[in-house]
A = this chain, B = another copy of it.
Amino acid sequence: MKALVYRGPGKKAFEDRPKPKLEAPGDAVVKITRTTICGTDLHILKGDVATCKPGRILGHEGVGVVHSVGAGVTAFKPGDRVLISCISACGKCEYCRRGMYSHCTTGGWILGNEIDGTQAEYVRTPHADTSLYPIPDGADEEALVMLSDILPTGFECGVLNGKVAPGSTVAIVGAGPIGLAALLTAQFYAPAEIVMIDLDDNRLEVARRFGATHSINSSDGKALDEVKALTGGRGVDTAIEAVGVPATFLLCEELVAPGGVIANVGVHGTKVDLHLETLWSRNITITTRLVDTVTTSMLLKLVQSGKLQPGKLVTHRFELAEVMKAYDVFANAAQERALKVVLKSD
């Protein structure tokens, strides 16, 4: 089969690979019909993710059709249409029982990282019963690809950890796909204000269309002043960090009101300064989280009911055979006005 393979820092290839086989009783093999590219895939290609070795098929998002299942799989059978979670969860270990699938002792984020991923014609998914989700008849499968990773990530790491609440004030720093996923799902809780902060006017315009009540281009260094002005000097109840660099985390430290939460979503490559000399007495909470995908079923219900429309994050579509070109578009997201690019195969 054809697959997109990581070949070491800076290198990737679209090449022939053997079709995956069942390896454990809990496995399924899924024929991919739609997949996408994640910012994390770009991190891997930079060589930033030590667990991902050359030779690995990339991709941890996708929907498809079950091709075969192991002897222990009871919830799925060949022919079932499924959503693939970016997190594999055994459902049995202490972390899984606590709802921390991200730290499953035999799973977690392994797809397209420690095992071969979804940017291929087929993928082997371990712990299939608790890592795949049935797709309701008539669902828009392209839209559901957004539920493999970015929607639960924005929602769990940003919105739930950030304790967004009716009437509250939220700032989201970073209007990329993850920040926009936080924006879409923050609205489940009717905050009074959602302030989107980014450097890219195009993305800020998208954010306003997606429900942000205010947008701030922070390139002039005045984002803090503007948020303070908007909030009577108080700051925000929830600051969602959706970038992953020290400057944006520091901005969140400054934006957050007493009693507020900084919910980190960004993937950080370096330490940050935590200003406890002012924050120690401000009654704040800081959270970090690798997505657990424990809300996938709930997000599916909200898509089915029409209250969540993740399809609007898709800006570009390609055949799987065009994956190299799709990477180029996604890597030049600002210029291409790209959010999520979907790869299709049959």
Binding site for B on A (CB under 8 A): 25-26, 71-72, 74-75, 90-92, 94-98, 100, 102-103, 129-130, 165-167, 185, 187-190, 192-193, 213, 244, 249, 258-259, 264, 266-277, 279-290, 292, 294, 297-299, 301-302, 304-305, 307
Contacts and interface: CB of A to CB of B under 8 A. Distances in A.
A166 B302 contact: yes
A233 to B, nearest CB: 12
A117 B340 CA distance: 54
A94 B258 CA distance: 12
Given A95-B259, A166-B298, A249-B276, A192 B304 contact: yes
A259 B288 CA distance: 9
A276 B287 contact: no
Contacts of A277: 268-271
Given A271-B274, A271-B276, A280-B268, A100 B302 contact: no
A307 B290 CA distance: 31
Given A71-B72, A190-B188, A190-B302, A98 B290 contact: no
B72 A307 contact: no
A258 B100 contact: yes
A92 B185 CA distance: 25
B283 A285 contact: no
A305 B103 contact: no
Nearest to A289: B283
Contact of A25 (B25, B190, B213, B269): B25
Nearest to A292: B283
Contacts of A192: 301-302, 304-305, 307
A288 B135 CA distance: 33
B286 A286 contact: yes
A272 B274 contact: yes
Given A92-B91, A276-B272, A288-B276, A283 B26 contact: no
Cβ-closest 5 pairs across A and B: A72-B72, A268-B276, A188-B190, A167-B298, A274-B274
A94 B297 contact: yes
B281 A271 contact: no
Given A188-B166, A190-B187, A273-B271, A72 B26 contact: yes
Nearest to A130: B92
A167 B301 contact: yes
Among A129, A190, A302: residue with most chain B CB under 10 A = A190
Among A192, A266, A267, A297: residue with most chain B CB under 10 A = A192
A103 B259 contact: yes
A305 B193 contact: yes
A237 to B, nearest CB: 11
11 contacts: A26-B72, A91-B96, A91-B97, A166-B307, A267-B280, A274-B274, A280-B290, A281-B290, A283-B290, A286-B286, A286-B287
A3 to B, nearest CB: 26
A161 to B, nearest CB: 8
Contacts of A274: 271-274, 286
A286 B271 CA distance: 15
Contacts of A189: 166, 188-190
